[in-house]
Every structure is written in structure tokens, then in C-alpha cells.
């Protein structure tokens, strides 16, 4: 009984969050810039990341995030924008030499590969920390947003993300590790423009 009430509450919060994005925010033409914990909690309510609202330290806000974790987050973001779980493959075909079928991330990574969002290289490097520009590109691709026509693809993604209010300001530290707080805030901004 309690679990059903919790599921219903999460569903209601999810609907209210989406209604805010669709109805209230467009009229205000302003995104609310959330704190890192608020952003994480919003993503948890939407089932995009694991819910740690009762113990926010488990979000590990100041730590970096791996490429495998980012693949799962962006697949979950993509599902929210398309309202379909068909984006996730049922099984892994081991298309990357460093990502076996027993690895939890394999189905997420290969799902992105199948959609053309990753290139098929020999290795995926799932345990490597993701850079800010890699993370931004994945977040943008989860919504079919592309880059501007700038000759530098990195600048193109940053320019378009700024134009769409997905990021708050231009950045040029493309190859720095993306922190969880930056990923969470950028992802919530992405949800807000849904």
C-alpha cells in the first residue's frame, strides 16, 4: 500500500514538473537556475538518476562522472523527451572490446551507438571520466539538438546550448572533467526546455 502511494506521488510530481515546463515556463520565458542538490532531486523525481533525496551526500555532487554513467543519464533523458523505453536495447552485443555483455552500462552505450550518437571505435572507455564537452554533446543529442554551423564543433554545441538556455554561460574548458553538479544542472535545464 505504501509503495503504491509513493509511486503515485512520484507520478504526480513528474506530471507537475512537466506541466511547469510546458505551461508556466514558456510564459515566463525564464529558466529557474537550481542549486546542484535541487537539480539532482528533480532528476530523481523524474527517474533519470537514482533517488537520494533522503541522503543527498550520495549524489556525490563534487565528483566527476564516468562515460558509462553519462550514457545511462542521457538515455533516461531521451526517454523522457520521447516517452518511450524502447530506446534501451534488451541485450548487449559487445560491440566495444572494453564493454562486455555483463556490464550494466553495455545496453545503454550500445543503444546510443545504434541511434548514431556514438561512433563505433575499438573501445568505449566506460570508466573514464567524461569531459564537459562530451557530456554537453550527449545531453544535446538526447533531445535531437545539434550544434550551430561553427567550424569548431565544440563551440557549435556550446553556442546552441546557450541559445536554448541549457547552459548558463559559454565555457571553453572543453576537456575538463564534468562534475556531477554541472551534469545535473545542465540536465535539469534541458528538461525545462522540454
Provide the pLDDT for residue 24. Answer: 43
CB contact at 8 A, 126 and 143: no
How is the chain split among helix, strand and coil, in percent rounded to 5? 50, 5, 45
Q: How many domains does the chain have?
A: 1
Provide the pLDDT for residue 29. Answer: 36
Provide the pLDDT for residue 80. Answer: 62
Question: Who wins on pLDDT, 74 or 157?
Answer: 157
Provide the pLDDT for residue 66. Answer: 95
Nearest alpha carbon to residue 20 among 5, 31, 9: 31
pLDDT of 37 higher than 70: yes
Q: What is the mean pLDDT of residues 116-141?
A: 90
CB contact at 8 A, 120 and 168: no
Question: Who wins on pLDDT, 185 or 119?
Answer: 185
Q: What percent of the chain has pLDDT over 70?
A: 78
Provide the pLDDT for residue 77. Answer: 84
Task: Say which range, 27-36, 47-56, 149-158, has the weakest mean pLDDT.
Answer: 27-36
Domain that holds residue 128: 2-192
pLDDT of 11 higher than 80: no
DSSP code at position 24: I
The torsion defined by the Cα of 52, 31, 27 and 75, in degrees rounded to 10, comes to -50
Provide the pLDDT for residue 12. Answer: 56
Whole-number Å distance between alpha carbons of 177 and 109: 19
Average pLDDT along the chain:
81
Q: What is the mean pLDDT of residues 173-189?
A: 93
Q: What pLDDT digit, counting tens, does each position of 80-105 carry?
A: 655 455 667 778 899 999 999 999 99
Chain-centroid distance, C-alpha 178: 12
Q: What pLDDT digit, counting tens, does each position of 38-79 carry?
A: 889 999 988 889 999 899 999 999 999 999 999 889 888 887
Provide the pLDDT for residue 34. Answer: 66
Amino acid at each position: 500500500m505504501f509503495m503504491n502511494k509513493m509511486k503515485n506521488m512520484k507520478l504526480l510530481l513528474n506530471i507537475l514538473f512537466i506541466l511547469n515546463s510546458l505551461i508556466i515556463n514558456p510564459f515566463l520565458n525564464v529558466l529557474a537556475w537550481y542549486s546542484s542538490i535541487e537539480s539532482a532531486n528533480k532528476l530523481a523525481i523524474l527517474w533519470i538518476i537514482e533517488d537520494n533525496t533522503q541522503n543527498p551526500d550520495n549524489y556525490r555532487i563534487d565528483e566527476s562522472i564516468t562515460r558509462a554513467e553519462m550514457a545511462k543519464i542521457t538515455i533516461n533523458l531521451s526517454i523522457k523527451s520521447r516517452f518511450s523505453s524502447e530506446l534501451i536495447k534488451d541485450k548487449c552485443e559487445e560491440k566495444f572490446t572494453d564493454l562486455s555483455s555483463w556490464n550494466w552500462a553495455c545496453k545503454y552505450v550500445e543503444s546510443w551507438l545504434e541511434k548514431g550518437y556514438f561512433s563505433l571505435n575499438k573501445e568505449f572507455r566506460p570508466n573514464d571520466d567524461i569531459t564537459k564537452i562530451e557530456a554537453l554533446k550527449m545531453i544535446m543529442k538526447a533531445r535531437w539538438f545539434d550544434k550551430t554551423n561553427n567550424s569548431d564543433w565544440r563551440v557549435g554545441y556550446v553556442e546552441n546550448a546557450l541559445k536554448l538556455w541549457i547552459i548558463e554561460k559559454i565555457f571553453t574548458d572543453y576537456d575538463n572533467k564534468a562534475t556531477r553538479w554541472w551534469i545535473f544542472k545542465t540536465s535539469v535545464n534541458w528538461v525545462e526546455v522540454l
